[in-house]
Structure 1
């Protein structure tokens, strides 16, 4: 791992199968993330991100690894003007994001007693990355909402 990698570890009181569903099935992802992935989950297959009534699809957005319920990896979405408008990202920030190489995210699930240890590794960031700074704030909130959904039935607001 590089010092630019973002790594987050949490334990979720659920089964690996249920956590896997929460990471891949739109019925779950839309509840805690607001995103539905359009893909067949075959490594090499394209991924489209549907959120906020719009879809982000571009070459390079693809599934890298799919090994249920242990490992899932895919490239991060393309930073488009449409995405930036929906997310409230300023044009100067979008320009910085668009100039960076595409990053990727990996989820590792390991049984841990009556819980699952979830490790998220988001990597591929250059030094001084704007995207790295943004995901380091976004992942903790997102994963807390995922944990709340699986443990209580309700995501964070």
Structure 2
């Protein structure tokens, strides 16, 4: 096997259009994730990742699939020294994760009556440590997204 895959499914009382907005609008992603994702969301377009005051843009950090209100896939962000310092990650760990094959994340959006089924699939380097970091991180991010869409407020930061 040449990858590790993390899959997470949740059901959210919202519309596909509103969920797409939550996945693609910088002010929205910042509310539930603490990350501003900026792109025009066209396939092949660059994706800028801003977290803790540090913006990371890289030519390999791109949108792979963009089917509004249905499917979004992009490459995972670049692990720069400035980013690692801003989130409190040691240089030893940053260097290890920066050496891994770049992962990708996919969001599948499926209407289900008054709710939407959201399936996140994140594909990783099988020999890497990004898998462990992200599989711990995705459940709280997606829970906060669900809470924000259903109540108007994200979950409090831990």
Give the TM-score taking structure 1 as reference length: 0.95
Query: For 2:97 and 2:8, how far apart are their aligned partners in 1?
Result: 22
Matches within 5 A, 1:36-47: 36-47=36-47
Checking the alignment, whether the CA contact within 8 Å between 1:103 and 1:124 is kept in structure 2 is yes
Structure 1 residue 121 displacement after superposition? 0.3
2:110 corresponds to 1:110: yes
CA deviations over 1:2-29 (Å, ceiling 9, x no partner): 7710100000011111011000011211
Which residue is 1:120 aligned to? Answer: 120
**1:43 alignment partner, SS class:** coil
Which residue is 2:140 aligned to? Answer: 141
Query: For 2:100 and 2:50, how far apart are their aligned partners in 1?
Result: 22
Query: For 1:149 and 1:38, how far apart are their aligned partners in 2?
Result: 20
Structure 1 residue 145 displacement after superposition? 0.4
Alpha-carbon spacing, 1:53–1:43, altered in 2? closer, same or farther (3 Å):
same
CA deviations over 1:27-75 (Å, ceiling 9, x no partner): 2111011122221111111111122222001120000011010000000
Count of aligned residue pairs for this structure pair: 156
Checking the alignment, whether the CA contact within 8 Å between 1:100 and 1:126 is kept in structure 2 is no
Which segments of 5 or more consecutive residues in structure 1 lack a partner in the other structure?
none
Which residue is 2:152 aligned to? Answer: 153
Query: For 1:121 and 1:155, how far apart are their aligned partners in 2?
Result: 22
Which residue is 2:89 aligned to? Answer: 89
CA RMSD of superposed structures (Å)? 1.4
Give the TM-score taking structure 2 as reference length: 0.94
Checking the alignment, whether the CA contact within 8 Å between 2:3 and 2:125 is kept in structure 1 is no
2:44 corresponds to 1:53: no
Structure 1 residue 113 displacement after superposition? 2.1
